[in-house]
Structure 1
């Protein structure tokens, strides 16, 4: 067992053995390393001022990804290369992204600039010659500018990120890859502090389950995109943390003829790349799930485990008929995802039990799938209502329906009354849909909050179901969306 974390910084291996359970990467940089170029803005992963890059070997290739250092735990960067704004300039010369910012007057007060530059540093290393302004704005959705305006920032990105990377990091890539391979090991990590406080990073599923079963009071952390806020906003004391990001069995996606077996710690960014090819609406919802920084760290297993009624992935998965596997010690069980959510803040997870996999059935030729996210901001925002629908069709008759909503109840929930009312409905007869749409009143009693009133949610839920049926029936001669991958592909204006 290893009692330290190791990572690469400025081409050298850094080793730390005094890491507290709740120490964030941002606090380490600013308070210990005294690298204050990385800023604290919102302290909740929304503004991007704290963005840094992590280099990892993914399928044998060195990939740089942006993360929010304000909510990422320091211990979670074990085995990575850490790149901050201080690392970019060498021998008095600016990095190409920094120079483009200067040339295009893309910085004013400068507070957000380090985060923008670090996000674009990761895009710069993607080698995207066909990069468009839409691609740039999607990549920068997690970085907020308070005074300059985004046009010069986008211009700087387009100037630099369309060309192949040519910087010190690309020049020493082989050396960095060798160092990352040297750091990769199968050791469990345990760092203890005062008394009974520790952060553990087990390397195998067996180690994880044994540790979790022994310390049932420990907090399990996958991406920390939610737990990070417990620390920075709720100021909660979490004396025991078990981080899941070194368990390889939880990082894999197995694609079969029946569907997808997704490890609980697979990032949303990887899911977007795999599941998005399967269904455009899944791709669009996952693209709008947080920002690139959030999707790089956040995981579907964590999104399920925290039991939020407004989590974006559970309605998608419930509509698709997904199941989850949980393990306690050596005992494994499997259940439909909708059965996991019992009540607000209450899930069917026993003390010490770990979500290990999500099993997602593949859509077939008889299925029609639609999903919609309503939020106050289009990008980087929490859902007001998220609706996902899977219709099973025989010709134009609905023989089975799975309708799932988030934001309409204390848990992600199926619309059982509406599903029953849809049985036998004919797509060519819109009047047959009305009973199902109105049946949603019997399925949900939504609440009013800052994101929307109960009446808005009720009417929006009905409208989304009707819109899905309208799209599937092909009866509308007009566009039914103002944006989205499905209609952009068809040549419609966004």
Structure 2
């Protein structure tokens, strides 16, 4: 067992033996190290002012990802390189991204500028050829600016990524990968005592044993939710177990019939596999949080936190996804929809944790659609999330309908009345549609909160069901998207 964490800063290995479980990476950088270029803005992973780049060795090279330091726990960076805005310049020479921000007038007050620079740095390192405006916009969707405006920042990103990549990080990438491999081992990390600790087991058996011994501990994968418990709810979390070092828990496998994902697999890693199941699923994943959130947040964590407005559960429910849970030496499998009992209550025993998930792929006779409705298009929490899967025979008769919503009840929930109304009906049967709309009003008594009123949610759920049916039916001349699936624009031609 190792009683310290190790990471790399400016080419040197840093080892810390005393780490409070609740210490954030931002607090370490600003208060302990004095690296104040990284700013604290919202404290909840929304504004991006605290963005840093985390480098990890993968396949003999260093992969840099943007991370919100305000909600990243210090213990979670074990085995990685931490890059902040102070580290980019090569002596007196600014990094190409910094120079482009100067030349394109991408900064006014400057508070948000370090975060933008670090998000663009991650894009710069993760791409080779020129990038387009959409890629720049996606890279900086998690960074907010209220004085400069985004046009000069986007232009800075476009200009610097149009040139060949050439900086000191590229020149030393093999050496850094070697250093990161050197500090990475397969020992369990445990810092503290039985009353207060940060732990990062290296094996699934070690995790099971530790959690059975401390069922009151908080499990953390990406901390994109738990981090807010610390910064916003001011909760005391004396025992934290991090899942990020467990061997194999970040695994992803496409078997041809389903996709298997581990509990520590991030949104960013899973997204291509979800896009392979259906374009709507890929777009849903792209709109979850920001690049910073998707680099650390996990799909299983989104399910396990039990939020009624979680983005992924409705889609996973209609796809028939299942999850494996483990407690000590015993494991069991349950459908995702059976995991939710009531608001804030999940079908999980003390000391039991989710190890992974199985997501069935669509068959040729199935049509899938999902829609996320938010106040902002990017980086916002759902007001209503709707997911739909229709199984059709050769005559267009609905053999099975699976419909689920988030934001409509205290838990993600299926609309079983609407499903029954569509069973056995033709996909273009207007009478069946009307019955489904009426049944939908009985399926839910939507909640009122600051994101949306109950009446808005009810009408939106109605509209989303109609939209899904229109698209599944291929109704001629139906234009149902501003962005997304292009095939919906060409039904009339077909």
TM-score range, shorter chain: over 0.9
Match of 1:139 in 2: 139
- Distance between the aligned counterparts of 1:274 and 1:182, measured in 2? 31
Partner of 1:151: 151
Q: Quote the Cα distance in structure 2 between the aligned partners of 1:173 and 1:463.
A: 51
Given that 1:397 and 1:425 are in contact with CA atoms closer than 8 Å, whether structure 2 keeps it comes out as yes
Task: Assess, with a 3 A threshold, how the Cα gap between structure 1 residues 490 and 89 changes in structure 2: closer, same or farther.
Answer: farther
Counterpart position of 1:42: 42
1:36-79 C-alpha deviation (Å, 9 max, x unpaired): 00000000000000000001123443211000000000000000
Q: Kindly state the Cα deviation for residue 160 of structure 1 after the two structures are TM-superposed.
A: 0.8
Tell me what 2:93 maps to: 93
Map 1:349-360 to 2 at 5 A. Answer: 349-360=348-359
Compute the RMSD of aligned alpha carbons: 1.5
For each residue in 1:68-111, what CA deviation from the matched residue of structure 2 results, as whole angstroms up to 9, or x when unmatched?
Answer: 00000000000011100010012111000000000000000000
**TM score, norm. by length of structure 2:** 0.97
Consecutive unaligned residues in structure 2, runs of 5 or more: none
SS in 1 for 2:338: helix
| 3-state SS, counterpart of residue 82 of structure 1 | strand
Q: Counterpart in 1 of 2:180?
A: 180
Q: Are the equivalent residues in 1 in contact too, given 2:252–2:260 (CA < 8 A)?
A: yes
In structure 2, what is the Cα distance between the partners aligned to 1:140 and 1:112?
11
Kept after mapping to 2: 8 A contact 1:401/1:419 = yes
- The alpha-carbon deviation at position 488 of structure 1 amounts to 9.5
Counterpart Cα distance in 1 of 2:165 and 2:347: 48
Could you tell me which residue of structure 1 aligns to residue 198 of structure 2? 199
Q: Check whether the contact 1:51–1:118 (CA below 8 A) recurs between aligned residues.
A: yes
1:339-396 residue CA offsets vs partner (Å, 9 max, x unmatched): 0000000001111111001110110101000000000000000000000101111021
**Runs of 4 or more consecutive aligned structure 1 residues displaced over 4 Å after TM superposition:** 485-492
Shift of 1:491: 12
CA offset at residue 482 of structure 1?
A: 1.3
Q: Which moved more, 1:274-283 or 1:70-79?
A: 274-283
CA contact 2:477–2:490 (8 Å) conserved in 1:
no
* Structure 1 Cα separation of the partners of residues 107 and 474 of structure 2: 48
1:44–1:71 CA contact under 8 A, matched in 2: yes
Q: Structure 2 CA distance, aligned partners of 1:355 and 1:451?
A: 29
Corresponding residue for residue 342 of structure 1: 341
Separation (CA, whole Å) in 1 of partners of 2:486 and 2:174: 40
1:52-451 aligned at under 5 Å gives the runs 52-192=52-192, 196-395=195-394, 396-451=396-451
**Superposition deviation, residue 401 in structure 1:** 1.0
Count of residues in Structure 1 that have an aligned counterpart in Structure 2 = 491
Q: Quote the offset at 1:164 in angstroms.
A: 3.3
2: CA distance, partners of 1:488 / 1:466: 14
Asked if the contact 2:61–2:174 (Cα under 8 Å) also holds between the matched residues in 1, the reply is no
Q: Secondary structure of the equivalent of 1:250?
A: coil
